[in-house]
Amino acid sequence: MSIFTIIAVVLICVGLLFFLGAAVGIMRFGDFYTRMHAAGKGDTLSSLLVLLGFGVYQLNNFQSFSESWPVLLVILKLIAISAFILLTSPTATHALMDSGWEDGIEPELKNDKPETNALEEDMPQPKQKEAQA
């Protein structure tokens, strides 16, 4: 087993561990915002690690620049996918969080007085939840 395969397996396993963490976080965390935190963070990092593992695994087929350039092309595509995930996944999480805030989902706070939260003063107050239809 070559060194690249071992590195790739380690990277993919760590990525899958983070996926598991994200899944458990979505199931077990208290409110909407912490759940989205688990989903956004864990998902992004684990996807990147798994894609990095794929890229490292592809290096097994690499001999020289002149004859195995298709391998580099595959790695380049994987890097492009990673860049897109790095751009889109946090933005999607942010957009979902923002929509939840606008919709009036209350975050769970440790102290019962939300106005003592320093962050709260800068932020617009969430709209009161309207009666459910």
Partner 1 sequence: MRLFALIAVFITGGLLLYGTADFPAKGDPHSPANAGVPGTGPSISQYFVTETYNDSKVPNMVTAVLADYRGYDTMFETVVIFAAGMAIFAILRVVKGGRNPGTGIHHRLDKDSSGNGDHYDIIVGTTCKLLIPVIQLFSLYVIAHGHYSPGGGFQGGVILGASFILYAMATNLKASLARFSEQRFMSLACIGILIYAGFGFLSQFLQKNFLEYGVLQKVLLTDGPEMARSHSMLGVEVGVAFTVTAIMFAIYANLSSAGDLENGKGL
Provide the binding-site residues for partner 1, judged by CB under 8 A.
84, 87-88, 91, 94-95, 98, 102, 124
CB of 20 to partner 1, least distance (A): 28
Q: Do 61 and 20 meet the contact criterion of CB atoms below 8 Å apart?
A: no
Query: Within 10 Å of residue 9's Cβ, how many Cβ atoms?
Result: 14
Alpha helices in 1-133 (DSSP H): 3-28, 32-58, 69-102, 118-122
CB of 46 to partner 1, least distance (A): 21
Judged by beta carbon, residue 91 or residue 117, the one nearer partner 1 is: 91
Judged by beta carbon, residue 46 or residue 89, the one nearer partner 1 is: 89
Judged by beta carbon, residue 28 or residue 77, the one nearer partner 1 is: 77
Q: For the chain, how far is it from start to end, CA to CA, in angstroms?
A: 61
CB of 76 to partner 1, least distance (A): 14
Residue 83 structure tokens: 């860049």
Judged by beta carbon, residue 18 or residue 101, the one nearer partner 1 is: 101
Residue 28 structure tokens: 């077990």
